[in-house]
């Protein structure tokens, strides 16, 4: 019997019992779609975190000071002195806090950062209108501010905030620049903030000393060396106290995040893959039932000349078509579900096309593996025994 005839007979058998065929494919459909959706969500999350960490700069270190005893920060001069370390290009000390910003009758609670002019280059954060802070602003504790685009919209609407005044906890500040739109990062929204001179921030926020410094190295290759030098210097400052400071390396964190999310994605894919295995068992069970129901048909076909290979091919094709069709439907549901999640949910989804192909191929293999035993059973039936079986 020719191969296409075996295929026609297999398709005819499947179409004659559509509900049973669909229920047989259901495990494959659920398994394939689950694998695609879960891995796509995991890949999208990894891409989002990677993009945010890369946005911090591969040649940057962030020093956070928790302190030891009464010493809980570095002085402004000590923070700037970190820039003298060999391999350091620039430093940007920051003082953070929260204030209530007000303009006319509008007010909003917003994050305030006290910064130096070096912040612009180190953080790659520029203004879209007006000017950035200057050294003279820090030196004379000027009450000037840069405003984020989100906060500007809350307080001024569509009007340009540059040149206007606002109150921070009741103290008047002149807005000299509107920051460019940056969106959100690991640290939160970059558009809902206000930047003021660090010397002014010490008084405004009643916070003496610096607890956060971003250090830019000359090249990405010198990050590890500079990190070691920073840790040695700070250990001397805090007498080798435990947990007195942390030096955050974005590249190191990026590698850790990628490793963790890849492991998690594979674990989720493995769990979803169990559905594929269960679906394969379902196909095998149904095919065994099908063989038992059609023994007389098999006997007649053998009696009129069908060979063992013809019977084997028919049932193998039937099994592969069931699993392949289930895999195809599962791919459609998985890709469609991933797209809908990415469009209508806060999740970041990146469709894992390699996993789409792998899942579909695996579904076909499920049909081959779990269809082998029923097909072999059918092929080995003797015509006389099959014809006697009503």
Q: What is the pLDDT of residue 120?
A: 93
Query: Highest-confidence range of 43-57, 162-176, 347-361, by mean pLDDT?
Result: 162-176
- Residue partners of 316: CB distance under 8 A and separation at least 6: 368, 371, 372, 375
| Average pLDDT of span 191-220 | 91
Look over the chain and give the mean of its residue pLDDT values, rounded to a whole number.
Answer: 83
Task: Indicate the pTM of the whole model.
Answer: 0.62
Q: How far is CA 129 from CA 195, 207, 302, in A?
A: 14, 29, 86
Strand-pairing partners, residue 246, are: 64
Q: What is the pLDDT of residue 210?
A: 92
Cα-based torsion angle of the residue sequence 237, 239, 241, 245 in order, rounded to the nearest 10 degrees: 10
pLDDT band at 385 (very low <50, low <70, confident <90, very high): low
Q: What is the pLDDT of residue 325?
A: 86
Q: What is the pLDDT of residue 151?
A: 95
Closest by CA position to 32, among listed 378, 355, 248, 284 = 355
E strands, the chain, in order: 60-65, 88-103, 106-115, 127-130, 144-147, 165-168, 171-179, 184-185, 188-189, 193-197, 212-217, 245-249
Residue 9 has pLDDT above 90, yes or no: no
Q: What is the pLDDT of residue 318?
A: 79
Report d(CA 196, CA 147) in Å as an integer. Answer: 9
Q: What is the pLDDT of residue 278?
A: 76
Higher model confidence: residue 138 or residue 50? Answer: 138
Q: What confidence tens digit (pLDDT) does each residue in 99-156 have?
A: 999 999 899 999 999 999 999 999 889 999 999 999 999 999 999 999 999 999 999 9
Of 50-54, 57-61, 130-134, which range is least confident? 50-54
Q: What is the pLDDT of residue 186?
A: 57
Q: What is the pLDDT of residue 349?
A: 84
Q: What is the pLDDT of residue 54?
A: 60
**Bridge pairing between strands 106-115 and 88-103:** antiparallel
Report d(CA 332, CA 338) in Å as an integer. Answer: 10
Q: What is the pLDDT of residue 55?
A: 59
pLDDT band at 93 (very low <50, low <70, confident <90, very high): very high
Q: How far is CA 156 from CA 130, 145, 175, 211, in A?
A: 16, 15, 12, 32
Of 8-22, 82-96, 219-233, which range is least confident? 8-22
Q: What is the pLDDT of residue 20?
A: 77
Closest by CA position to 351, among listed 372, 335, 340, 374 = 335
Q: What confidence tens digit (pLDDT) does each residue in 310-356 have?
A: 777 777 777 888 888 888 998 999 999 989 988 888 877 888 788 88
């Amino acid at each position: 019997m020719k191969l296409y005839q075996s295929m026609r007979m297999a398709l005819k058998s499947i179409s004659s019992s559509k509900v049973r065929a669909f229920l047989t494919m259901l495990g494959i459909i659920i398994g394939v779609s689950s694998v695609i959706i879960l891995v796509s969500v995991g890949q999208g999350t990894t891409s989002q975190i990677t993009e945010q960490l890369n946005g911090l700069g591969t040649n940057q270190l962030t020093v956070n000071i928790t302190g030891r005893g009464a010493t809980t920060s570095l002085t402004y001069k000590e923070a700037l002195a970190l820039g003298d370390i060999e391999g350091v290009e620039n430093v940007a000390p920051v003082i953070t806090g929260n204030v209530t910003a007000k303009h006319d009758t509008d007010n909003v609670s917003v994050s305030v950062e006290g910064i130096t002019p070096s912040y612009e280059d180190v953080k790659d954060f520029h203004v879209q209108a007006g000017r950035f802070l200057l050294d003279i602003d820090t030196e004379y504790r000027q009450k000037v501010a840069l405003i984020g685009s989100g906060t500007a919209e809350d307080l001024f609407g569509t009007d340009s905030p540059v040149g206007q005044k606002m109150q921070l906890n009741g103290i008047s500040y002149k807005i000299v620049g509107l920051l460019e739109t940056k969106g959100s990062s690991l640290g939160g929204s970059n558009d809902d903030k206000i930047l003021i001179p660090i010397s002014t921030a010490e008084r405004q926020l009643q916070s003496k000393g610096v607890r956060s410094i971003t250090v830019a190295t000359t090249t990405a290759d010198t990050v590890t060396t500079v990190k070691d030098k920073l840790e040695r210097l700070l250990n001397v400052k805090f007498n080798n106290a435990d947990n007195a400071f942390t030096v955050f390396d974005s590249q190191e964190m990026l590698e850790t995040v990628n490793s963790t999310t890849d492991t998690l994605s594979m674990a989720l894919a493995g769990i979803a893959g169990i559905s594929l295995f269960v679906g394969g068992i379902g196909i095998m069970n149904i095919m065994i039932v099908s063989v038992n129901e059609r023994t007389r048909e098999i006997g007649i076909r053998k009696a009129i000349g069908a060979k063992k290979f013809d019977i084997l091919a028919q049932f193998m094709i039937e099994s592969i078509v069931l699993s392949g069709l289930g895999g195809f439907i599962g791919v459609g549901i998985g890709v469609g579900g991933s797209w809908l999640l990415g469009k209508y949910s806060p999740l970041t989804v990146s469709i894992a096309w390699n996993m789409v192909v792998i899942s579909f191929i695996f579904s076909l293999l499920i049909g081959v593996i779990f269809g082998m035993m029923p097909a072999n059973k059918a092929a080995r039936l003797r015509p006389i025994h099959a014809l006697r079986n009503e």
